[in-house]
């Protein structure tokens, strides 16, 4: 397996765009002048389109989506290194957090793909496409149960807190 197929510009851009859609609710809340129902509708549309893009994405895109999603949601964890006089480690910690969640997303997508291939071999190709999407949904639900740092601040349910 060549690692070069994972690091294409299309995969990186698609993962970044998906992560931006899934992170939009945080930044809309902070920087927005929009209030009321238009903001709720915008949050709903962006969250659903981000989840749709993630469910239809390939395994490398899941890695980059998890990487950029972790950076945009969990960057603040590295800021605490200022208080320990280790501010020089902040970029490294942000990179490590992104890599951990990127590998987590990629692993869950890879497992759901392999399980879907087994289902396809047993039940013919009729259920193969649907089973991949259903297993991707279960992979997204499983992300909430992993706590790589002893706690989990990456809760995808938060996408729909401020939505219709």
pLDDT tens string, the chain, 164 residues long: the values are: 566 666 788 888 999 999 999 998 888 877 777 777 787 888 889 989 999 999 888 888 999 999 999 999 888 888 888 999 999 999 999 999 999 999 999 999 998 888 888 877 776 666 666 777 888 888 888 888 877 777 777 878 887 887 77
- The model's pTM: 0.84
Q: Collapsing DSSP states into helix, strand and coil, what is residue 155?
A: coil
Structural domains in the chain (count): 1
CB atoms within 10 A of CB 136: 21
Q: Give 35's DSSP letter.
A: -
Range of the domain at 146: 3-160
How many CA atoms lie less than 13 Å away from 68 in the CB half-sphere?
21
């Amino acid at each position: 397996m060549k690692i070069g197929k994972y690091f294409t510009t299309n995969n990186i851009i698609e993962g970044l765009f998906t992560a931006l859609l899934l992170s939009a609710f945080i930044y809309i809340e902070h920087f927005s002048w929009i209030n009321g129902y238009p903001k709720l509708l915008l949050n709903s549309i962006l969250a659903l389109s981000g989840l749709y893009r993630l469910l239809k994405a390939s395994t490398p895109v899941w890695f980059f989506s998890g990487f950029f999603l972790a950076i945009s949601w969990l960057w603040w964890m590295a800021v605490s290194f200022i208080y320990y006089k280790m501010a020089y480690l902040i970029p490294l910690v942000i990179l490590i957090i992104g890599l951990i969640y990127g590998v987590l997303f990629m692993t869950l997508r890879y497992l759901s793909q392999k399980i879907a291939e087994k289902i396809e071999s047993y039940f013919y190709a009729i259920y193969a496409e649907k089973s991949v999407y259903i297993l991707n949904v279960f992979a997204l639900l499983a992300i909430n149960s992993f706590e790589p740092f002893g706690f989990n601040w990456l809760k995808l349910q938060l996408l729909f807190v401020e939505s219709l």
